[in-house]
Amino acid sequence: MGVARRGKATYETTNVWIRGTGSVVGPNEGSGPLKGQFDRVWPDEQNGQTTWEKAEQAILSEAYDEALRKSETDWSQIDLVVGGDLLDQIVTTNFNGRTHQRPLAGVFSACATFTEGLGVGAMLLGGGGLERVMVSAASHHQTAERQFRFPLELGYQRTPTAAWTATAAGAVVLANERGPLRIEAVTFGRVVDLGGKDPNDMGSAMAPAAYDTIQQHLADTGQSAGDFDAIFTGDLGHFGVEMLIRYAQEKQLDLSEVLDDCGRSLYDADQQDTHNGGSGPGCSASVFAGPLARRLVQGDYRRLLLVATGALFSPTTYQQGESIPCIAHAVAVVREEASR
Amino acid sequence: MGVARRGKATYETTNVWIRGTGSVVGPNEGSGPLKGQFDRVWPDEQNGQTTWEKAEQAILSEAYDEALRKSETDWSQIDLVVGGDLLDQIVTTNFNGRTHQRPLAGVFSACATFTEGLGVGAMLLGGGGLERVMVSAASHHQTAERQFRFPLELGYQRTPTAAWTATAAGAVVLANERGPLRIEAVTFGRVVDLGGKDPNDMGSAMAPAAYDTIQQHLADTGQSAGDFDAIFTGDLGHFGVEMLIRYAQEKQLDLSEVLDDCGRSLYDADQQDTHNGGSGPGCSASVFAGPLARRLVQGDYRRLLLVATGALFSPTTYQQGESIPCIAHAVAVVREEASR
């Protein structure tokens, strides 16, 4: 079988390969610490589009183009697109379906959408029937700000714990033919809600969900954190990473040596005024599809656990006084030579 | 293998069974032509909850309870929940994750969410590794009205083509052990957008997407419409069904004998002032999980093609003058005796 259960919530996939990745980011994301490691960097946030929403659609479209080019794949060879984004009714992903015209399954776990999609895509591919699957996630700073926070024109002051939604998109072509990287295992997370209510401090709210999924993955597969060269969470940011390390420590799990975070890596906090760090589905998607995939292919990492994290609230639930349910989904990616 | 490709976009699943279904609806839905065919009917739309959003969460929770009860399954036996709803950030589905605590993969195709989830769930189960999957979709009239249209308090006049979002939830426990019904094949749809822009006439906008997926399913599997005892679309309503029959006729596909629609079936148009008929992810989910599953089990139908239909716009894209991209996903369900 191409998919086998391990433990309670983890599934090992065989013969599921990453054939190519595409990453396209905005100017802030492209000029931070990860400069030079994305496929394309936009000169400005709008890049000639007439609305921010069209810009978000366009940046995703470019990530698709890069993933197809680098994996030597045509749209006609893609059996299914599994993707999502942060906008209401995931319109960024859905509107791209008008042009690519491939069968489309929309997914949503807020900023954990990318690893949900990667997990679903890998398991569908491993299960048989499909040959190539496109997985994607995207976000845009301006569309997210006005949907979740305040109009940009207001120029309000951000809290130190507030995340900066990344203008970024990542796409991955999965295939059942040998590629440079292999998806080894998937753990779908459950909802963890410890009562956090502040949408300007989502890193703290999401840290326990990240812990829950990481420990589940390690327990299910009988591994320790040190079996990975790196464990990257999605967008816990500076505060969330600190919190996760301490929280895990209390539960006898030492993540201090291997833990890093896509959102924390994306910006220079001192120079770029981005506070807690990057967030949005496009954050982990682009950081994986660009820098992390590159490090794996180049041999800097042999085994990586990507654990995108999502805060599953809406502006309505926030206004109604609800706490913020969080989730994290984990995908283990290995360089070919390391595959079992 | 448990999943095998047929044609371009269809996948046959083996050993994927519907073990039990749960359907819970509001008072309007429970007093229409399908009266007596749902598991529970709420006495009013709020049913003791303090907000409409909490009511939507509660009706989904009850559908889960019924599906678990009827399938003799505990939450602890559910490996994965695959579900979605119409609210921004699919909070109805996600907030239920706080209580059921099972691994959760959120999906979204607007009112086509139920068959997307059923398709993904069936293929994941067929692919191996999982044993039981909960699939669900829900909607609530009041939450959807204020999100997509106008505040109810405004008392505006509805157009004849406007759909009535159903207060309804449906849930299905899929398993790899023999049950009364079997999922035979899945076709994921692509986006079809012929330029319709009126959110008060989504039946017309969605009819071509329904045609596209139905013809693809028939072509891929070498069947004709008459090979099914019924083809149920999701929520085309009175106008959309007429349009689909004519549209298909022009393309030499006669659907007139077998086509029906969950949304059209749900209300008595003359008595209930619901205009075009029911819509919302909960419409096809509850009509399948209640009346249609019942007809299959009782032998009224032997083979059913369920084709939920979705309009993938958001209020923002509508306000920006965009047309409405539509999609439909098809799932073929057969009574056990008819299985191959």
Which residues on B lie below 8 Å from A9 (Cβ)? 79, 103
CB burial of residue B314 (10 Å; 0-12, 13-18, 19+): buried
The pLDDT assigned to B1 comes to 56
The pLDDT assigned to B65 comes to 98
- Is B107 strand, coil or helix? strand
The pLDDT assigned to A153 comes to 85
Q: List the single residue in A106, A129, A130 with the smallest CB-CB distance to B108.
A: A106
Fold match flag (B3-175 vs B183-334): yes
Q: Tens of pLDDT along A226-273?
A: 999 999 999 999 999 999 999 999 999 999 999 999 999 999 988 998
**What band does B340 get if pLDDT is binned at 50, 70 and 90?**
very low
β-pair type (A278-279, A259-261): unpaired
Asked whether B17 and B122 are in contact (CB, 8 A), the reply is no
The pLDDT assigned to A299 comes to 96
The pLDDT assigned to B243 comes to 96
In this structure, what are the phi and psi dihedrals at residue B94, rounded to the nearest 5 degrees?
-70, -40
CB spacing of B106 vs A104 below 8 angstroms: no
Closest chain A residue to B323, measured at CA: A95
Helix or strand run (H / E) with residue B242: helix B237-250
CATH number of B3-175: 3.40.47.40
Spatial CB neighbours of A145, under 8 Å, sequence gap ≥ 6: A151, A152, A165
Mean pLDDT estimate for chain B: 96
The pLDDT assigned to A166 comes to 97
Q: What is the mean pLDDT of residues B121-138?
A: 97
Alpha-carbon distance B141 to B199, whole Å? 15
Q: What is the mean pLDDT of residues B156-168?
A: 91
Asked whether B16 and B1 are in contact (CB, 8 A), the reply is no
Q: Tens of pLDDT along A110-136?
A: 999 999 999 999 999 999 999 999 999
Substitution target in B88, B187, B202, B309 with the highest count of A β-carbons within 10 Å is B88
Task: Return the axis-axis angle of helices B141-148 and B52-70, rounded to nearest 10°.
Answer: 140
> Domain boundaries in chain A?
3-175, 184-335
Whether the pLDDT of residue B63 is over 90: the answer is yes
Q: Which of A156-165, B127-136, B184-193, B297-306 has the lowest mean pLDDT?
A: A156-165
Asked whether A16 and A125 are in contact (CB, 8 A), the reply is yes
Please compute Rg for chain B using Cα positions. Answer: 18
**What band does B151 get if pLDDT is binned at 50, 70 and 90?**
confident
**B298 and chain A in contact, CB less than 8 A:** no
For CA atoms A68, A74, A77, A81, the dihedral sign is positive
CB spacing of B79 vs A51 below 8 angstroms: no
Q: Which amino acid is at A29?
A: E
Alpha-carbon distance B247 to B51, whole Å? 41
Fold for domain A184-335?
Peroxisomal Thiolase; Chain A, domain 1 (3.40.47)
The pLDDT assigned to B338 comes to 45
Substitution target in A317, A320, A324 with the highest count of B β-carbons within 10 Å is A317
Please compute Rg for chain A using Cα positions. Answer: 18
Helix or strand run (H / E) with residue B230: strand B230-233
Q: Which of A214-218, B23-27, B142-146, B231-235 has the lowest mean pLDDT?
A: B142-146
**A280 and chain B in contact, CB less than 8 A:** no
Nearest CA among B53, B68, B202, B206 for reference residue B139 = B53
DSSP string, A140-160: -HHHHHHHHS--GGG-PPPPT
Q: What is the mean pLDDT of residues B128-137?
A: 97
Matching residue, tokens 């996600």 = B94
Whether the pLDDT of residue A158 is over 90: the answer is no
Alpha-carbon distance A71 to A73, whole Å? 5
In this structure, what are the phi and psi dihedrals at residue B186, rounded to the nearest 5 degrees?
-130, 135
Q: What is the mean pLDDT of residues A199-216?
A: 94
Q: Which amino acid is at A336?
A: E
- Among residues 126-155 of chain A, which lie with CB inside 8 Å of chain B? 126-130, 147
CB burial of residue B235 (10 Å; 0-12, 13-18, 19+): buried
Whether the pLDDT of residue A339 is over 60: the answer is no
Q: What is the mean pLDDT of residues B208-213?
A: 98
Q: Tens of pLDDT along A37-52?
A: 999 999 999 999 999 9
Closest chain B residue to A314, measured at CA: B89
Q: Tens of pLDDT along B254-309?
A: 999 999 999 999 999 889 989 899 999 999 999 999 999 999 999 999 999 999 99
Q: Tens of pLDDT along B237-252?
A: 999 999 999 999 999 9
CB spacing of B89 vs A110 below 8 angstroms: yes
**What band does A160 get if pLDDT is binned at 50, 70 and 90?**
confident
Q: What is the mean pLDDT of residues A273-277?
A: 91
**ipTM passes above 0.90:** yes
The pLDDT assigned to A1 comes to 56
Which residues on B lie below 8 Å from A315 (Cβ)? 88
Substitution target in A49, A75, A174, A191 with the highest count of B β-carbons within 10 Å is A191
**Stated pTM of the model:** 0.97
In this structure, what are the phi and psi dihedrals at residue B172, rounded to the nearest 5 degrees?
-135, 130
Counts for chain A of helices (H) and strands (E), in that order? 12, 15
% of chain B with per-residue pLDDT over 70: 99
**What band does B32 get if pLDDT is binned at 50, 70 and 90?**
very high
CB spacing of B104 vs A315 below 8 angstroms: no
Which residues on B lie below 8 Å from A184 (Cβ)? none
The pLDDT assigned to B336 comes to 80
Nearest CA among B332, B322, B285, B123 for reference residue A105 = B123
Whether the pLDDT of residue B179 is over 70: the answer is yes
Asked whether A135 and A121 are in contact (CB, 8 A), the reply is yes
The pLDDT assigned to B154 comes to 84
Task: State the count of interchain CB pairs (< 8 A) between A and B.
Answer: 192
% of chain A with per-residue pLDDT over 70: 99
Nearest CA-CA distance, residue B160 and chain A, Å:
25
Alpha-carbon distance B286 to B136, whole Å? 9
**B183-334: CATH superfamily:** Stage V sporulation protein AD (3.40.47.40)
Q: What is the mean pLDDT of residues A83-105?
A: 98
